[in-house]
Amino acid sequence: MKFPKLFEPIKVGHLELKNRIVFPPIATNLAHVSGEVSDVQIFHYHRIARGGAALVIVENSCIAYPEARHGATQPRIDSDEFVPGLARLARAVHDAGALVSIELTHPGLNASLKFNGGLRPVAPSAVRLRKDGIIPKELTENEIEELVEKYAYAALRARRAGFDMVELQGAHGLLINQFLSPLTNRRKDRYGGSRENRLVFVREVVDRIRQLCGDGFPVTIRHAVDDMREGGIDLEEGKALARGLEEIGIDMIQADLGFCPREMRLEPMPYPQGWRSYLAGALKEVVSVPVAAVGTIREPEFAEQLLEREEADLVALGRTLLADPDWPLKAKAGEVRRIRRCIGCGECVKARHSEDRPIRCGVNPTVGEGEPFARLERTERPKRVLVVGGGPAGMEAARVAALRGHDVRLVEKGDRLGGTLNIASVPPGKDKIRWLVEYYEAELPSLGVEVVLGSEVTREAVEEVRPDVVILATGSAWPRPDIPGVDLPCVVHATDILRGTEVEGNDVVVIGGGLLGLETALFLASQGKKVTVLKRYKTIAEDLEPIYRDYMLRELREREVGIVTEVDVERIGQGLVVVRDKEGNISELSCDVVVLARDPIPERKLLKELEGLDVIPIGDCVRPGRIVDAVRDGYIAGRKL
């Protein structure tokens, strides 16, 4: 076996996990508004378990309604009425071969007034930390004792529903984290002050769970090893608290962060793989219970090395298993090249946190969709399918059509698969996009797809092949804007730069403040160029996932990239750009090079040529969008053949 440590059994409490792979709790927004689990949600967890993970932990569940409600579609476990639905979920995970846990959550001072009916948040102490300035109500001792009961009875409901264990959410700045952290726990009674006192709340919760559920029911915790904030838990304090958690009787610890910026726990693409795993390594120095490493662990080789070096006992693979729930099975079979790795695009984060909609994945279009959409049945009438274009939409359409039993040929005019992914992967921190191309490069031949590179498709070529259907994925084009001087030698398109065109000179003006313009600006600034970005409208990068947007703007500031908004380009001259601001004032910017980075338009030339044939246009040739849009279009096209 290629990864022996990864597939070695391990015990959590008295229970044996078949391997070291844990699916951690990730909010899905898939429950009903009532808090009942939904069929789509049950399938979501069943599908993860079917892929070979040893332990599946169901998302943060509300233990106290409405005050602890943390989302419009958060599952509830605060009442016996939810036990039957949770039991169906637990059975579905067991039927797929995994153990199942559920995370018990109370947000404390971070309660959402939008979802909890406007109730004032509660916390160990009345500290001002919220961005809205609201100061939480300090919990009385009686209220704390009531919360202990709510946690314990939630655990009892989980046990009655058939769950194998429960997990306490003690990280991410939520209630248990607030009790453990000196940043938020300034109490003078038995629940605050010394480290031992700050552990009392967790001790009472665990003791009460043991009383109700028995000693054989494991209790695990997601622990804030470091708050990453002055006055909070630091690494040494996090280690000391972990020793206390072990003494209390915690059976496993997920090593995570506390009151950190969201960017550090919902990492955008540029973050290095497994950067948070040092937290698990720190805990391994001081505790003997199993410790799980958390965050951006994408490849089995990396996971195996963590386990071999004894820097973790388990690996928690969240977004990794969203991207490919069969990651464990493929790793065990040695089919590493066929793993669809998470590229960190942030679509799952954007859906859940920014848009308050069901979870989705940029590279796996079935996430959050339910069993009927995910089911791919073999066709009884195979067709000859011609896919034109080897970008993400075309590659996914070819994959799905082949899985359904069709005879598929994919033709790409370039010398390699990937389309615009090949240039999107060039800016700093974007190299993981190549992972998606590498997945299709391995997957398509294994499914029998004939891949033809370096070939331009015409109507004559299509008629010669005589396909039953053409899936057109010709992508988008970047027309030159109607600006005087746009054809001067000093003008170059952003895509040409990302393909390797050298930029002569030091001063660069980029026309266009969308994703392409900003990433090209960052690419040039990383080479030492002095860059200024021009944007017609006031907002910058409004189409980006907010966490990546904040990261990008910070990087641009640090590299001293100038951004000028609300200007129109009047003309381009040799060595200058003339702009008009919203008041009509004219000014000149001197430069050596002008880079065009306006938004693309659909490439529909071939679509017009193929009129009269059975053609399905998909992806950017219909509507330029993001990777998630292209992959979904491709999946739907391949599925409906």
Q: What is the Cα–Cα distance from 487 to 608, expressed in whole angstroms?
A: 28
Per-residue model confidence as pLDDT tens digits over 276-285: 999 999 999 9
Query: What is the residue extent of each domain of the chain?
Result: 10-372, 379-478+602-639, 491-599
Per-residue model confidence as pLDDT tens digits over 241-277: 999 999 999 999 999 999 999 899 999 999 999 999 9
- What is the reported pTM? 0.96
- Cβ-in-10-Å burial (0-12, 13-18, 19+) of 409 comes to middle
Phi/psi at 203 (5° precision): -60, -45
pLDDT of residue 498: 97
CATH topology classification for 379-478+602-639: Rossmann fold (3.40.50)
Buried b (16+ CB within 10 A) or exposed e, 609-626: ebeeeebbbbbbbbebeb
Band (pLDDT 50/70/90 cuts) for residue 542 is confident
CATH number for the domain whose boundaries are 491-599: 3.50.50.60
Q: What is the Cα–Cα distance from 601 to 104, expressed in whole angstroms?
A: 47
Query: What 3-state DSSP class applies to 611?
Result: coil
Mean predicted confidence (pLDDT) in 160-184: 99
pLDDT of residue 245: 99
Mean predicted confidence (pLDDT) in 452-471: 97
The DSSP bridge partners found for residue 472 are: 388, 617
Nearest to 288 by CA among 317, 245, 227: 245
Q: What is the Cα–Cα distance from 524 to 520, expressed in whole angstroms?
A: 6
pLDDT of residue 282: 99
Please, what is the average pLDDT of the chain? Answer: 97
Mean predicted confidence (pLDDT) in 99-108: 99
pLDDT of residue 57: 99
Alpha-carbon distances of 91 from 46, 84, 94, 149, rounded to whole Å: 9, 11, 5, 26
pLDDT of residue 479: 87
Mean predicted confidence (pLDDT) in 353-372: 94
Q: What is the Cα–Cα distance from 136 to 493, expressed in whole angstroms?
A: 52
Nearest to 103 by CA among 81, 86, 122: 86
For 374, the token pair is 């995910």
**Eight-class DSSP state of 448:** T
Decide if 74 contacts 31 (C-beta within 8 A): yes
pLDDT of residue 486: 96
Instruction: Report the percent of the chain where pLDDT is more than 90.
Output: 96
Decide if 313 contacts 307 (C-beta within 8 A): yes
Q: In sequence order, which residues have a C-beta less than 8 Å from that of residue 114 and are 6 or more positions away?
A: none
Band (pLDDT 50/70/90 cuts) for residue 599 is confident
The DSSP bridge partners found for residue 539 are: none
Band (pLDDT 50/70/90 cuts) for residue 540 is confident
Mean predicted confidence (pLDDT) in 131-142: 97
Q: Please tell me the least confidently modeled range out of 145-159, 424-438, 544-558.
A: 544-558
Buried b (16+ CB within 10 A) or exposed e, 275-290: ebbebbbbbbeebebb
The yes-or-no verdict on residue 233 having pLDDT over 90 is yes
- Sheet (strand 567-573) strand order: 567-573, 576-581, 586-590
For 550, the token pair is 């904040």
pLDDT of residue 351: 87
**Eight-class DSSP state of 219:** E
pLDDT of residue 513: 92
Decide if 300 contacts 339 (C-beta within 8 A): yes
State the architecture of 10-372 in CATH terms: Alpha-Beta Barrel (3.20)
pLDDT of residue 356: 84
